Amino acid sequence: MRLTRYFLPVLKETPSEAQIVSHRLMLRAGMIKQASAGIYSWLPLGYRMLRRIEQIVHEEQIRAGHLPMLMPTIQSADLWRESGRYDAYGAEMLRITDRHDRDMLFTPTAEELITDIFRSHVASYKDLPLTMYQIQWKFRDEIRPRFGVMRGREFLMKDGYNFDLTKEDALHAYNRHLVSYLRTYERMGLQAIPMRADSGPIGGDDTHEFLVLAETGESEVFYDAEITELKFGDRQIDYDDHAQCRAVLEEFTSRYARTDETHDADLFAQIPEDRQRVARGIEVGQIFYFGTKYSEPMGAMVDDGQGGRVPVHMGSHGIGVSRLLGAIIEASHDDNGIIWPEGVTPFHAGIVNLKQGDAACDAACEGLYAAMTAAGLEPLYDDREERAGAKFATMDLIGLPWRITVGPRGLAGGKVELTSRRTGEAEEMTPDAAVARLAEIYAPHKAALI
Ligand code: P5A
């Protein structure tokens, strides 16, 4: 992409309405624009990041054997009356009446609709286990939308739903989701810690929230410091293997880690004092096992193979896709702007031409652009007639992990400069070497072939 052809409305001023750094930086970097309270337009750079995050979520869901699908945002209230949640959900549900005076709503979550799909088409245990998911916009009429995409009213969520014959199988689905979520967040450069939580309006007894530690997080959390040393890494998991998934769950949840809703001061006090931590966190996901809470009232039954008909065991699992942009920025920025992790960056590297219009500089930049593209990398070429300082400031603000700087002095010796956004370290090398280095850096982050 060439910057002169892009739409990147960066702001020089710090927007006064934004209280936390991720909100400020997303506005300043021209990623989002508020349309009304808690509702945002996603401008090209923000939308690109949203798609990057979606891509990783899809890949990891499919890897775990879950089936992508899509349900509508506007739903009939009737299904929600069947489950009893139409009244129970309260003021957060945006209720709509259509021209025929039918009660509709904008989906805040989709347990009812997926259960309806299931009961219409599945009648036998032979079709189980089944997990389907979607990445779809949700609406919750939050009383206090704030912090930009962190607590929006309209937000993008990955929501998945499992259907199993037995509680044991449904708990395997729960464990499998926990494992796949660990992997998903790590690919985004995040450490998200599973913590015992409260199930709220979704229901059920088993639930974990995934929290990214950050001072600006909305949740207060209590944990054993040892938990932050755990890494998922590049373990190869057989997602059908119950024992393997359970072992990972046990490893990541056996130490004390709870949100304030489930915090137990006595248990916490048993952790050695130097390991007790009280901090704040951003909830980037939550998994639930709620058994037959929806299948029973809605009649989602299957033949159990032994002459009986039983309600299926279910769980649901959510990832805050749009919130993740804010969480990544909270975890990775400096005074000059965002620092995207290599696993999720809108462009792989910026190309900064220090002397636009100079034949040698222009040709070198074009050459780099073509070579990067040929290597499967996406550059953002700052080809504006701007001073170097302004170009550097824009690159720093939008946070591409790497920058190639092309100037007449370096080019005289056949060199360009490759600079790390995170460390600021720069190294002179030939354009070919710079592209080769970038290809090497990004090799582990290539989209998985699945
Ligand atoms: C699980 C999927 C559910 O709704 N039903 C379907 C279950 N869970 S949840 O915890 O309520 O939401 C899942 C994730 O969505 C994000 N989230 C939000 N993101 C931005 N703005 C909001 N107002 C908002 N509310 C929830 C969170 O990351 C949450 O973990």
Which residues make Cβ contacts (< 8 Å) with residue 283, sequence separation at least 6?
A: 209, 210, 211, 217, 218, 219, 259, 320, 323
Q: How far apart are the first and last CA of the chain?
A: 27
CA dist., res. 290 & res. 316, Å (int): 8
Give the residue whose CA is nearest to atom 10 of ligand 1: 286
Give the residue whose CA is nearest to atom 4 of ligand 1: 109
Residue 290: predicted pLDDT: 95
Q: Which residues line ligand 1 (CB under 6 A)?
A: 109, 140, 142, 151-152, 155, 157, 159, 202, 283-286, 288, 316-318, 320, 322-323
Percentage of the chain exceeding pLDDT 90? 95
The confidence band for 324, taking pLDDT boundaries of 50, 70 and 90, is very high
Q: For residue 449, is pLDDT > 60?
A: no
User: Is residue 359 classed exposed, middle or buried when 0-12, 13-18 and 19+ CB atoms within 10 A define those classes?
Assistant: exposed
Tell which one of 80, 157, 188 to mutate to probe ligand 1, the residue whose CB is within 8 A of the most ligand atoms: 157
Closest CA to 85 of 46, 105, 112, 60: 112
Q: For residue 450, is pLDDT > 80?
A: no
Buried b (16+ CB within 10 A) or exposed e, 165-182: beeebbbbbbbbbbbbbb
Angle between helices 359-374 and 431-442 (to 10 degrees): 30
Q: What is the mean pLDDT of residues 177-204?
A: 94
Residue 201: predicted pLDDT: 87
User: Is residue 255 classed exposed, middle or buried when 0-12, 13-18 and 19+ CB atoms within 10 A define those classes?
Assistant: middle
Give the residue whose CA is nearest to atom 17 of ligand 1: 320
Going by DSSP bridges, is the β-strand pair 379-382/349-353 parallel, antiparallel, or unpaired?
parallel
Give the residue whose CA is nearest to atom 22 of ligand 1: 151
Give the residue whose CA is nearest to atom 26 of ligand 1: 320
The confidence band for 446, taking pLDDT boundaries of 50, 70 and 90, is confident
Which segments of 64-104 does DSSP mark as H helices, in order? Answer: 77-83, 85-88
CA dist., res. 440 & res. 98, Å (int): 55
Q: Which atom of ligand 1 is nearest to the CA of 108?
A: 4
Residue 118: predicted pLDDT: 98
The confidence band for 269, taking pLDDT boundaries of 50, 70 and 90, is very high
Closest CA to 265 of 281, 278, 283, 251: 278
CA of 401 to the centre of ligand 1 (A): 29
Superfamily of domain 3-338: Bira Bifunctional Protein; Domain 2 (3.30.930.10)
Residue 447: predicted pLDDT: 56
Instruction: Count CB atoms within 10 A of the CB of residue 53.
Output: 25
Instruction: Count CB atoms within 10 A of the CB of residue 35.
Output: 10
CA of 158 to the centre of ligand 1 (A): 9
pLDDT tens digits for 329-339?
999 999 999 99
Q: Which atom of ligand 1 is nearest to the CA of 200?
A: 11
Mean residue pLDDT across the chain: 96
Give the residue whose CA is nearest to atom 12 of ligand 1: 318
Q: For residue 415, is pLDDT > 50?
A: yes
Residue 448: predicted pLDDT: 46
CA dist., res. 172 & res. 180, Å (int): 12
CA of 355 to the centre of ligand 1 (A): 47
Q: Which atom of ligand 1 is nearest to the CA of 145?
A: 23
Indicate the domain borders of the chain.
Answer: 3-338, 349-445
pTM: 0.97
pLDDT tens digits for 328-372?
999 999 999 999 999 999 999 999 999 999 999 999 999 999 999
Percentage of the chain exceeding pLDDT 70? 99
CA of 374 to the centre of ligand 1 (A): 39
β partners of residue 67? 132
CA of 280 to the centre of ligand 1 (A): 18
How many alpha carbons lie under 13 Å from residue 362 in its C-beta half-sphere? 7
CA of 38 to the centre of ligand 1 (A): 14
Which segments of 303-430 does DSSP mark as H helices, in order? Answer: 321-331, 359-374, 388-398, 408-412
CA of 361 to the centre of ligand 1 (A): 48
Going by DSSP bridges, is the β-strand pair 130-139/154-164 parallel, antiparallel, or unpaired?
antiparallel
Closest CA to 136 of 327, 322, 344: 322
β partners of residue 431? none
Q: What is the mean pLDDT of residues 139-162?
A: 96
Q: Which atom of ligand 1 is nearest to the CA of 158?
A: 2
Q: For residue 296, is pLDDT > 90?
A: yes
For the 349-445 domain, the top CATH level (class) is alpha beta
Angle between helices 167-187 and 242-253 (to 10 degrees): 60
CA of 150 to the centre of ligand 1 (A): 10
Instruction: Count CB atoms within 10 A of the CB of residue 366.
Output: 14
Is residue 344 within 8 A of residue 188, CB to CB? The reply is yes
